[in-house]
Amino acid sequence: MLNQQEFADLLQINLLALNRFVLGLVGNRFDAADVVQETAVKAFIHYPDFRAEAKFKTWLMSIALNEVRGRRRREARSRLSYFEVEQLDQFPAATAADSPYRQYQEIEASRILDDAMSSLPASSRHVLRLRAVDERDIEDTARQLAISVPAAKARYFRAVRRLSHELARRTRRPIRAALQVPHQA
């Protein structure tokens, strides 16, 4: 039968020695306090199993030593060694853009866009290339195509609409957000 008062008395007598022993093993008082507390809890739980063949102090110190060893094993498993960290620093961190799926999506989107562009009439392709790809202003686009500015605007907006419909047909969904049509006054 567990005699709680007897356990408390034995623990109190050996507490200072236990603190010193654990502090010597772990090196700092905060970790030592945690280990001492865990040791006391485990000793209390297993006190009914304590055989008086050994001294209580020896038994208590062996519980503390096992607790410190267990903590070190857990810490070693949970952190990388300095060498491993140094090796990891040699490799650049991967980003979402580096993922194979993302690369596939970009290639596929580019292929669909190229196919849709090639299906447009030449006049639509030219105006789209000048405005969207080469990023020319509307006056320069009109000059390149040898047409008036209002005609260049109309041709550009018709080309954007055709391309949008072609992309929607090829992907079976509307693509309005993908095509940013600049607002011209």
- Is residue 28 included in any domain, yes or no? yes
Whether residue 37 sits in one domain with residue 84: yes
pLDDT attached to residue 133: 83
Predicted TM-score (pTM) of the model is 0.43
Closest by CA to 132, choosing from 107, 88, 102, 162, is 162
SS3 54: coil
Q: How would you classify residue 60: left for phi > 0, otherwise alpha for psi between -120 and 50, otherwise beta? A: alpha
- Is residue 119 included in any domain, yes or no? yes
pLDDT attached to residue 50: 82
Whether residue 100 sits in one domain with residue 84: no
Residue 93 contacts residue 76 (beta carbons within 8 Å): no
Any idea what the CATH number is for the domain that residue 37 is in?
1.10.1740.10
pLDDT, tens only, 86-141: 565 666 666 666 677 777 888 888 888 888 888 989 988 899 889 988 889 999 99
d(C-alpha 107, C-alpha 101), whole Å:
10
Cα dihedral sign for 76, 79, 83, 84? Answer: positive
Whether residue 117 sits in one domain with residue 57: no
pLDDT attached to residue 114: 87
Whether residue 45 sits in one domain with residue 13: yes
Domain boundary among 40, 62, 88: 88
The domain in which residue 149 lies consists of 96-178
Domain boundary among 88, 110, 136: 88
Residues 6+ apart with CB under 8 A from 36: 15, 18, 19, 22, 64
Whether residue 84 sits in one domain with residue 100: no
Whether residue 81 sits in one domain with residue 8: yes
